[in-house]
Amino acid sequence: MTNVDYKIIVGLEIHVQMAVRTKMFCGCELAFAAEPNSKVCPVCLGLPGALPVMNKKAVEFAILTATALGCKIAEFTKWDRKSYYYPDLPKNYQISQYDLPIGSNGFIEIPTKAGAKKIRIRRVHLEEDAGKNIHTAGPFSQVDLNRAGTPLMEIVTEPDLNSAEEVKMLAEELQRIVRFLGVSEADMQKGHMRFEPNVNLHIKKGGGEHKTPITEVKNLNSFKALEKSVAFEAQRQLDNFLESGEVMQSGNKKTFGWDDIKEVTVLQREKEEAHDYRYFPDPDLVPVVADKKWLKEINSKLCELPLKMQGRFVSGYGLSDYDAGVLTADKATAEFFDSSVKAGGDAKRVCNLITQKGLKIANEKNCKVSELGISPQRLAQLAKLADAGQISATSAVIIFEKMTESEDEPDKIAEKLNLIQKSDAGELEKIVDEVIAANAQAVEDAKSGDKKSKKAYGFLMGQVMQKSKGTANPQVVAKILAAKLKI
């Protein structure tokens, strides 16, 4: 690359499928991979005479999200028809929100290396999804309308993102937020989140700043594709500018798709068509008035956002950012951890138990850590046992697993399994003496101070542990052994 000073400018549109039971304007169930056209009714098929009825839960979820993102919530909002003809759109208009979105002027914080960065949110609104066109049946295309009418929340950021990495961070952060709020499963495999970045570059060259034409990449449904497509577009635009000098002007916005296999963007529309969607208020639906009482009810479901929680785990509990990130990937896990620490467990100990064993068992059982049958209080007790040296770290992990099967307190389990460590110096001294007497060569090696000494010391420790059937407190043993060997 030639040495050119430039800045990547990205604004992101994100569609999030809401975790509600039924479609946006009818009672049809939301179902993934169902028999084509099996989850449909006159309303989502757009049959003559059918009328939409708003899914209140979806609206509440959108309000909750917008509030969590610091948006101004519209006290009065309405539904608008967006007109365009496409076979997957049965009414040939989409019910959406035009000039009065549910939320506007919010922000989302992303954890960049330079610290948290605020990305402004332009708007949050709700709309219905279209169906799917299928082109696998010979000369004819088919339409599956199961997805038609699915509630989608569209979140639009300001162009505040300045790298492919930041774009990906925002997407991941948003995934974590909507999961924390419980408004979306945000399952990428099921297409619950779809991204459309708008990308261009501000290039400094010849004493001036040049803006490359904006390109929109449509319909990305993985973080990887999102990140790679933005990086690819940035490079493509830079190359194109250096070659042609083409800059942004009215009408030269282009639309691209993403080829997942070749990992390149593919031009879809050369010129942004002067699309006239003929928006107008949908006369079939009544406006939504968000009164204070309703908003209060909705906002009672607000919670600490993941990034804030993650920060608290680092600064308050001394966890590493990585560990705090693992714990706050899921709200139930994060809250379980938090409660366990508040119940008296050492934060690092609790974190290790959860991340080393808890998450694995939960994954196998297909549930949350908090659903394994261990209360935060019991986990705290377990952590305390380990901290007091009554059990070893290894034993703690074993006991953790047993605790998922038994309601016994951790110390009871430890006793039953004979995992309580012996810290009685007199008793342990006897064992150490026996081991020293039986292993003269190793004792000599250990004392020698050369290469062999470390290995020999380890061997003697092992012998003591073996003789005690693993119940000796290794710290106490180490002390005694060191004293006896005078090392």
Partner 1 sequence: MSEEILKLSCRELQRKIAKGEIKSSEAVSAVFTRIEKHDAQIGAFLSTFKQDALARAKEIDGKIAKGQSVGALAGVPIAVKDNMCTAFGATTCASKILENFHSPYNATVIDKLLAADAVIIGKTNLDEFAMGSSTENSGLKKTVNPWDKSRVPGGSSGGSAAAVAAQMCFAALGSDTGGSIRQPASLCGVAGLKPTYGRVSRYGLVAFGSSLDQIGPLTKDAADCALMLNVIAGHDEKDSTSVDEKTAPKCDYLAKIDEPVKGLKIAVVPELFQGADGEVVAAVKGAIELYKKSGAEIIEIKMPHFEYSVAAYYIIATAEASSNLARYDGVHYGYRTKKAGDYIEVYTKSRAEAFGPEVKRRIMIGTYALSSGYYDAYYLKALKVRNLIRSDFIAAFQKADCIMMPISPTTAFKIGEKMADPLQMYLLDVYTLAVNLAGVPGMSVPCGFDKNNLPIGLQIIGSTFQEEKLLRIAKMFENQTDFHKKKPQL
The encoded tokens of residue 277 equal 């969607």
**479 and 429 Cβ atoms separated by less than 8 Å:** no
Instruction: Classify 73 as helix, strand or coil.
Output: strand
The count of C-alpha atoms lying within 13 angstroms of the C-alpha of 92, restricted to the half-sphere facing its C-beta, is 4
Nearer to partner 1, 47 or 367 (CB): 47
Nearer to partner 1, 59 or 369 (CB): 59
Q: How far is the CB of 46 from partner 1 (least distance, A)?
A: 5
Q: How far is the CB of 43 from partner 1 (least distance, A)?
A: 8
For 231: left if phi > 0, alpha if psi spans -120 to 50, otherwise beta; the answer is alpha
Nearer to partner 1, 289 or 482 (CB): 289
The encoded tokens of residue 486 equal 């005078």
Q: How far is the CB of 81 from partner 1 (least distance, A)?
A: 5
Distance of CA 27 to the CA centre of its chain: 29
Nearer to partner 1, 285 or 329 (CB): 285
What is the C-alpha separation between 178 and 15, in angstroms, rounded?
Answer: 12
Q: How far is the CB of 62 from partner 1 (least distance, A)?
A: 18
Q: How far is the CB of 290 from partner 1 (least distance, A)?
A: 17
> Smallest Cα–Cα separation from 362: which of 413, 401, 320?
401
**429 and 408 Cβ atoms separated by less than 8 Å:** no
Q: How far is the CB of 40 from partner 1 (least distance, A)?
A: 10
What is the C-alpha separation between 82 and 15, in angstroms, rounded?
Answer: 16
Nearer to partner 1, 277 or 459 (CB): 277
Q: How far is the CB of 57 from partner 1 (least distance, A)?
A: 15
What is the C-alpha separation between 357 and 369, in angstroms, rounded?
Answer: 10
Which residues would be at the binding site for partner 1 (CB under 8 A)? 42, 45-54, 81, 83, 85, 87, 90-93, 141, 143, 276, 278-280, 283-286
Instruction: Classify 164 as helix, strand or coil.
Output: helix
Nearer to partner 1, 58 or 234 (CB): 58
Q: How far is the CB of 115 from partner 1 (least distance, A)?
A: 43
Report angle CA 189, 81, 49 to the nearest 5 degrees: 95
Q: How far is the CB of 196 from partner 1 (least distance, A)?
A: 22
Pairing status of strand 254-259 against strand 151-157: unpaired
**12 and 157 Cβ atoms separated by less than 8 Å:** yes
What is the C-alpha separation between 228 and 235, in angstroms, rounded?
Answer: 11
Q: How far is the CB of 183 from partner 1 (least distance, A)?
A: 23
How far, CA to CA in Å, does 282 sit from each of 53, 82, 411? 12, 9, 65
The amino acid present at 411, given as its one-letter code, is: D
**387 and 346 Cβ atoms separated by less than 8 Å:** yes
The encoded tokens of residue 68 equal 């969590």
Tally Cβ neighbours within 10 Å of residue 246: 13
